[in-house]
Structure 1
């Protein structure tokens, strides 16, 4: 009982002082309660806790989008290397044509030039010595013809048993005579045609057809094609004829 009286007195004092203390601004000092829990001093830096390992999440499988198949472009084929052409040009071909016409002329129109003062009689026929540079025997004449025509054409012009051109004492002689020209044929034009074959070309000849009854008026034209080919190492005509 004696302990309770002082405690009650203190409580009364505290209760009565509450209002008066607020009015006067006095600060009362509260005695700590016996049952108050002492504050725990906080450390300056908290100890970090171990971070939990992240749980891996399953990533969705991304399927690649289909791509349009691209076919490779065909590579350009290399251009064929053009074959080197080492044959005669057009003027050389036409020059050979004119020589061929002259050679045929010697057999079908009029003979080669000859010396009328040098004549020989053979089997009743009169022959005259040929006067043409570079051709003085049947051998040299045949060789010249072979430079222009195929062997078949040469044999038709100058057969080995022929009588138009003969050797007398090793010298070339010829009989005089010829058929003359065709009066129904007029002017001719020539051109060289090529078909891509490096060993062949064609001489095309177009000749006028005249009408003597109309004072030689041109009434038509004729066309002839003569193949000029490389045979062995030579360029020759494999078919030929006179157009006039």
Structure 2
């Protein structure tokens, strides 16, 4: 059965307001086999508030009505028509009767016992009263309680609950407790999660929880809770063992890592995804709907980093995974959707970056290949007032040229869209993004453009060069290249060009 995840905030356990229906039912009155996933979550939320009266806090008190016994001061419980919380109120339909709790009045130990047994089996109710036998006491048939609570777990950031039906008489509620102490422990943190599986069973007395956990039941000893310190001395020690970390531990490290603390873990994290996506999806399935601040960055990082750091082989592998992976649950589907969306944005950004490298810098401006918005002169300053017509292209597009800052530029206008496809300079001054200009040596070019390939001089007139060094990285640069024309060992001309439908080196 599909699972349903709903945030159940800690504060909700103490909030009032069941709302939504004029004649709310109790768990004992819920129709046979009529519980829905939302009903179970609502029952868990209300039961948590009752559980907390014994384990975490206490019922509302009238502090002006006190009794003393055995060295303890008790105050009268002031709990008339106390509304218990629910996670959500479903719209009533013709086919389902959603359960919500009735307001309760608790004026005696018997009332408190009845409230507990509304949600819990008798054995569970006994264990609640045994948690603190002196917490509640009747005086002359009226309920009093000691003031104070134990204090909630400061490492708990938030929690979620998921309900699943095991059979017609048994539901389970999996509560995920998220740890994060960064806000008060930085540069150290305790981060991760633990889970508790609770049982809701249909008994002769109705639906009852037969196992439960405190509202702040985070297990700090769980294998999925980690302690990190982000400082230069600890980083050396942490990085030495990162190759042995689980995908989950790497993900938790990345939640608060930045700068130098990010690179090593992010590299391992991304390569783990590319090598073994099944394990990655399984271990990261706790991340969707989690409350961590930077959870989206972590879930997206295999896609964003593959295009930012790695080559065509890794990019092809990422695409293969995203096209073929079969999610095993809703959480994995959410992860897959996040990665696919991140891939689209990463390709767009990487393409923009690749295109941006094909430019000539002159007069303090970056003349780059590609599409231009807004009509000539676009966003540039100082360009000629009117470009020169250069005829018509093979597909009927209008061709234009202009010169600026020692650079001759050619562009086309196809159906109102301008696109610069060639820029040429034969004079010192205009530079590539790598800093090369006319007059630099062949060795200067090879030092910056280490993959440049020597070939016979190309171009309409070859500029009288001996040969050309061609920088054509391919990939997201598509059909763009930079030709450095070499004459007597020096750059005599530079041409930046987009062939659109082909490459010089392929």
Query: TM-score range with shorter-chain normalisation?
Result: 0.5 to 0.7
Superposed CA RMSD: 2.1
Between Structure 1 and Structure 2, whose CA radius of gyration is higher? 1
Counterpart in the other structure of 1:167? 138
Kindly tell me: are residues 243 and 129 of structure 1, through their superposed partners in 2, closer, same or farther at Cα, counting changes over 3 Å? closer
TM-score, normalised on structure 2?
0.30
Q: How many residues align?
A: 159
- Contact 2:33/2:169, CA 8 A, preserved across alignment: no
Counterpart in the other structure of 1:120? 67
Tell me by how many angstroms 1:148 deviates: 0.7
- Contact 1:85/1:198, CA 8 A, preserved across alignment: no
Kindly tell me: are residues 87 and 233 of structure 1, through their superposed partners in 2, closer, same or farther at Cα, counting changes over 3 Å? farther
Q: Report the Cα distance in structure 2 between the residues aligned to 1:225 and 1:119, rounded to whole angstroms.
A: 39
Taking the TM superposition and a 5 Å limit, the aligned residue runs for 1:21-100 are 86-100=33-47
Counterpart in the other structure of 1:242? 214
Kindly tell me: are residues 208 and 118 of structure 1, through their superposed partners in 2, closer, same or farther at Cα, counting changes over 3 Å? same
Q: Report the Cα distance in structure 1 between the residues aligned to 2:185 and 2:208, rounded to whole angstroms.
A: 39
Q: Report the Cα distance in structure 2 between the residues aligned to 1:168 and 1:158, rounded to whole angstroms.
A: 17
Q: Report the Cα distance in structure 2 between the residues aligned to 1:207 and 1:231, rounded to whole angstroms.
A: 28
Q: Report the Cα distance in structure 2 between the residues aligned to 1:100 and 1:148, rounded to whole angstroms.
A: 6
Deviations 1:67-105 (A, max 9, x none): xxxxxxxxxxxxxxxxx9623211211111111111121
- Contact 2:180/2:189, CA 8 A, preserved across alignment: yes
Taking the TM superposition and a 5 Å limit, the aligned residue runs for 1:201-240 are 201-211=171-181, 212-214=184-186, 219-240=191-212
Kindly tell me: are residues 127 and 208 of structure 1, through their superposed partners in 2, closer, same or farther at Cα, counting changes over 3 Å? same
Gaps of 5+ in 1: 1-83
Higher helix share: 2
- Contact 2:75/2:146, CA 8 A, preserved across alignment: yes
Q: Report the Cα distance in structure 1 between the residues aligned to 2:47 and 2:155, rounded to whole angstroms.
A: 21
Deviations 1:98-131 (A, max 9, x none): 1111112111221110100111111221100001
Deviations 1:182-241 (A, max 9, x none): 01111111111123x111111111111123523786721111110111011310110011
Deviations 1:8-60 (A, max 9, x none): xxxxxxxxxxxxxxxxxxxxxxxxxxxxxxxxxxxxxxxxxxxxxxxxxxxxx
> Is 1:101 the equivalent of 2:72?
no
TM-score, normalised on structure 1?
0.61
Q: Higher relative contact order at CA 8 Å, sep ≥6: structure 1 or structure 2?
A: 1
Q: Report the Cα distance in structure 1 between the residues aligned to 2:58 and 2:32, rounded to whole angstroms.
A: 37
